Amino acid sequence: MRKLITLFVLSLLLVIGLPNLPQALSQSSLGEIRGVWITKNDSDIWLDSNILNSKIQELAQLNFNTIYPVVWNSGYVSYDSAVAKRLGIQDFVRKGLQNQDIIADIVEKGHENGLLVIPWFEFGFMTPPTSELAMKHPKWLTTRLDGSKTGDSAAGQVVWLNPFHPQVQKFITDLVVEVCRKYKVDGIQFDDHLALPKDFGYDSYTVNLYKQEMKKNPPGNPQDADWMKWRADKITEFVERLHSKVKQINPNFIFSVAPNPYHTAYNSFLQDWKTWVNKGIVDELIIQVYRDDLNSFVNELKKPELQNARKKISSGVAILTGLRNNPTPINFIEDKVKKAKQYGLGVSFFYYETLLQEKVDESTEMRKSSIKALFYAPKSRFRHEVKVSVF
């Protein structure tokens, strides 16, 4: 009889959900991540609504469950933005070939095919030096100790918006709020650019703020531990406020981040995502582990901060499927996905164009078959299909 009562109580808890349920249930409530990023390089598939529909149907048939379309890139947004217009940085808004709103079309077709759609604010605090944003708002930019502003990135020469400046914070927040209210999205995502390279932060605004709070000048050494922590903590405070804004719009929105492994994220870019996870201000974590060696890839999966995160929130690893016209061999992709699963992690592929792209001895159909074998059964992430609620 006692066993029957215990089973009844456990069953009741699973049905109604309680705040003190184990945190591991929160991880499962968002499900296994099977995602892919849709970049500006993929514009050929999202301009034509019919092609977009067939490609998203294909992703659904391959048992993907999440797509991350870019909405903020190179100082411009991918939609008609009142926020951008107010700042005078609204680029030509490219409509689809059927005169459709491209982002709305992606969201609609994604949902029709059972995919979560999480817009990706790719550039974060980064922008090209020639962008209207940088040219019209020079006081928003931060500098190194020597006053220089420009740095190298995977996207070429860039400058950095000052993440400590209230007007910069308002601008980024307003863009996020606008997307969350304008489209029926499932959340938003930032990556390793919701950050600041450690050499920056010597602009006059930040120096004065530091002097006001710490009663001394910032150290000349950008790697000074206290100076790094002060700047990292300021970014964390902003992320906490941004997360709160998103949740005010819809508590079920997923606040996703896709940073570098922690040792790089913090020591090179002041991005303290380990603290973000521990503070509960992110709902999904996808670590960029773009390694060309399987052993070094696996070493990152073992890191305690990532293994700790996966026990608290939906967590995964980003896998590089290649660069334009140079797709990664599918057997290497398979090996990485299998290792990620072994360590309890989901995956997201960077990026769509190279995911299924042909290469020597690998047809598109062959690559599709390999992915379908990896994702052999559907895994939905829609919250309304989950019977356990953890809030």
The pLDDT assigned to 338 comes to 98
Residue 9 in this model has a pLDDT that exceeds 80 = no
Kindly tell me if the per-residue pLDDT of 150 is higher than 60.
yes
Angle at the Cα of 243 from the Cα atoms of 242 and 248, rounded to 5 degrees: 100
| pLDDT for residue 108 | 98
Fold of 22-125+172-197+251-385: TIM Barrel (3.20.20)
> What integer pLDDT is reported at residue 323 of this predicted model?
87
Structure tokens at 93: 């808004």
Q: pLDDT by residue (tens digit) across 76-102? A: 999 999 999 999 887 666 789 999 999
Torsion over CA of 194, 390, 251 and 195, rounded to 10 degrees?
-10
The pLDDT of residue 140 is above 50: yes
pLDDT band at 46 (very low <50, low <70, confident <90, very high): confident
How many Cβ atoms are within 10 Å of 276's Cβ, its own excluded?
23
| More confident call, 8 vs 206 | 206
Give the number of residues written for the chain.
391
CA-CA-CA-CA torsion for 74, 75, 78, 81, nearest 10 degrees? 180
Model confidence at 3, pLDDT cuts 50, 70, 90, reads: very low
DSSP character at residue 178: H
Report the pLDDT value the prediction gives residue 154, as an integer from 0 to 100.
82
Question: Residue 293, Cβ neighbours under 10 Å: how many?
Answer: 9
Q: How confident is the model at residue 153 (pLDDT cuts 50, 70, 90)?
A: confident
58-73 burial, b at 16+ Cβ within 10 Å, e below that, comes to ebbebbbbbbbbbbbb
Helix H or strand E encompassing 355: helix 352-355
Beta strands 126-127 and 156-160, pairing class:
antiparallel
Handedness of CA 127, 130, 131, 132 (dihedral sign): positive
pLDDT (tens digit per residue) in 270-319: 999 999 999 999 999 999 999 999 999 999 999 999 999 999 999 999 99
- Cα 207 from Cα 327, distance rounded (Å): 45
